[in-house]
Amino acid sequence: MSASYDNLFIGGQWAPPTSTRTIVVHNASTGEHIGTVPEAAEADVDAAVAAARRAFDDPSGWSSWAPAERAAALERLATELDSRAAEIGRLVSMQNGMPIALSPLIEGMTPVGTLRYVASLLATAPVEEETSRFLGGDLVIRHEPIGVIAGIVPWNYPQTLSSFKYAPALAAGNTIVLKPSPETVLDSYVFAEAVIAASIPPGVVNIVPGGRDIGAYLVQHRDIDKVAFTGSTAAGRQIAEACGRLLRPVSLELGGKSAAIILDDADLDLAKIGQNLFAATLVNNGQTCYAGTRILAPRSRYAEVVDVFAAFASSLPVGDALDPATLIGPLVAERQRDRVERYIAKGISDGARLVTGGGRPAGLDRGWFLEPTIFADVDNKSTIAQEEIFGPVLSVIEYTDEDDAVRIANESDYGLGGSVWTSDNDRARSVIRRVRTGTMGINSYLPDPAGPWGGVKASGLGRELGPGAVAAYQNLKTVYA
């Protein structure tokens, strides 16, 4: 299967690019060339932003629609994406290695659920609120769309993380310019087809594929009113600096090094917890920002926890992302595998004990495969415990008591996800209240559109989704009546 495109999606139609540069897309499981798309140039970004601005400024356009009208349009888009879930899943699996057993559900259906959740918020989202002045008289508080949004998304969950931006942004009445990552661009064309089929007005959604230079140009474009970014902490800092100079609103969902805290009463029967453990730690081949890559184990059960995770990692089938039996597919690119291998070598040289994995699986000579890897006897101050590896590598770290577990969990620059594993939910909640992070799970980890999504510390600024999803893309205007 291959797909090549000649045009960009700008202003609600397929537009020829201004440059002859192309992005070559590869199959992560085989290394084969599977498609090309145009690489946007600065002039293409200008055209996309201008189209979004026209659509926003149109007196009878998207921003002026009643909330119920926008909700109906988002429901149509959800329906169109639903019908394309299998196709989107397959394309994502080919590009970034996400196993096909997961991609139609995660990448195909999460945007559908996100759109429908956000559309449901519009039933009660106020446009104007009348209230009383503290000093006497009346006030009107208007909730108005911000304007043109720049949405920049990474390659690991391209459609899911795009929807976290466009769904609430569009619901609030904004228009958007999306920049997908060069590694995962083919799925964005299927999304564009769904936008057209859903009769979303021209210019409301625009897509400009490109690398970091195009992302930087989009972030600093004079007609962008807010930036929503998901990606690395290093890139997030650069975007924050640019937006700070411009006094431009920005939301940043960045890296993570989450702790999975195994309490001393946890049930470690893999037959019972294996599926949830996988979702919390190694889903998408470890290419997940919220993954619990630091396994905090009590001293009293440390050896048992190490053995359980070794058995767990060794049991996961590694193979072609399009094989339904695969649970660990390839990494997105050769350079990503090289990066993860450097971290594995660093872990060994720093004295951690390699329990299982650490190499390239036998019989998979094409593509960018790596065995699920477990380290034991890891110092929480070591490189592999502190830096985001973004691959199928877990570090098991010993703690003495709950206070020590909380200390170690918080001894990180990051704070995005995490989980607590225990037979006592009240005990889990007590621990969770003390961990500095944006999200946590009890005996599982599964993000939901109804829950505010984001991190603290180096894991980002702001929140996506949840009850305040639409409000995050609105300005408040006070009218003194």
b (16+ CB within 10 A) / e for 214-249: bbbbbbbbeebbbbbbbbebebbeebbeebeeeebb
Residue 477 contacts by C-beta under 8 Å, 6 or more apart in sequence?
141, 142, 144
As a whole number, the mean pLDDT across the chain is: 97
pLDDT at 163: 98
Q: Which CATH superfamily is domain 3-254+458-480 in?
A: Aldehyde Dehydrogenase; Chain A, domain 1 (3.40.605.10)
Residue type, 94: M
Rounded CA-CA distance 39/420 in Å is 43
Band the pLDDT of 126: cuts 50, 70, 90: confident
Q: Which of 365, 364, 347 is nearest to 356 (CA)?
A: 347
What residues pair up with 464 in beta bridges, in sequence order? Answer: 453
Q: What is the DSSP string of 190-253?
A: HHHHHHHHTTPPTTSEEE----HHHHHHHHT-TT--EEEEES-HHHHHHHHHHHHHHT--EEEE
- Which pLDDT score, from 0 to 100, does residue 125 have? 85
Q: Report CA torsion sign: 253, 259, 265, 268.
A: positive
Question: How many CB atoms neighbour CB 7 within 10 A?
Answer: 14
What average pLDDT does this structure show over 365-375? 97
CA distance 481 to 478: 9
Amino acid residing at 115: L
Q: Which fold has domain 259-448?
A: Aldehyde Dehydrogenase; Chain A, domain 2 (3.40.309)
CB burial of residue 136 (10 Å; 0-12, 13-18, 19+): exposed
* Amino acid 1: pLDDT: 57
pLDDT value for 315: 97
Residue 2 has a pLDDT of: 67
On whether the CB atoms of residues 358 and 130 are closer than 8 A, the answer is no
Do residues 417 and 446 make contact, with C-beta atoms less than 8 angstroms apart?
A: no
- The yes-or-no answer to whether 3-254+458-480 and 259-448 have a common fold is no
Find all residues with CB under 8 Å of 480, minimum gap 6, and list them.
Answer: 133, 137, 139
Which residues face 230 on adjacent strands?
A: 253
Answer yes or no: are the C-beta atoms of 323 and 21 closer than 8 Å. Answer: no
Q: Please report which confidence band the pLDDT of residue 481 belongs to, taking 50, 70 and 90 as the band edges.
A: confident
For residue 374, CA distances in Å to 34, 269, 316, 359, 404 come to 33, 18, 13, 11, 22
Give the global pTM: 0.96
DSSP 318: B
Residue with token string 């909640």: 429
Question: What radius of gyration do the chain's Cα atoms show?
Answer: 23
Pairing of strands 128-132, 138-145: antiparallel
The predicted-structure confidence for 25-62, as pLDDT tens digits, reads as follows 999 999 999 999 999 999 999 999 999 999 999 999 99
Q: Which two tokens stand for residue 284?
A: 């998408």
Q: Which structure tokens are listed for 311?
A: 């058995």
Catalytic residue numbers read 253, 289
Binned at pLDDT 50, 70 and 90, residue 256 comes out as very high
Cα distance between the two ends of the chain: 62
Alpha carbon 344 to chain centroid distance?
24
Is the pLDDT at 269 greater than 70, yes or no?
yes
pLDDT at 399 > cutoff 90: yes
Domain boundaries, the chain: 3-254+458-480, 259-448
pLDDT in tens, 417-461: 999 999 999 999 999 999 999 999 999 999 999 999 999 999 999
Mean pLDDT across 292-302: 98
The total of other beta-carbon atoms located within 10 Å of residue 125's CB is 19
pLDDT surpassing 70 at residue 397: yes
For residue range 353-369, list pLDDT tens digits in order: 999 999 999 999 999 99
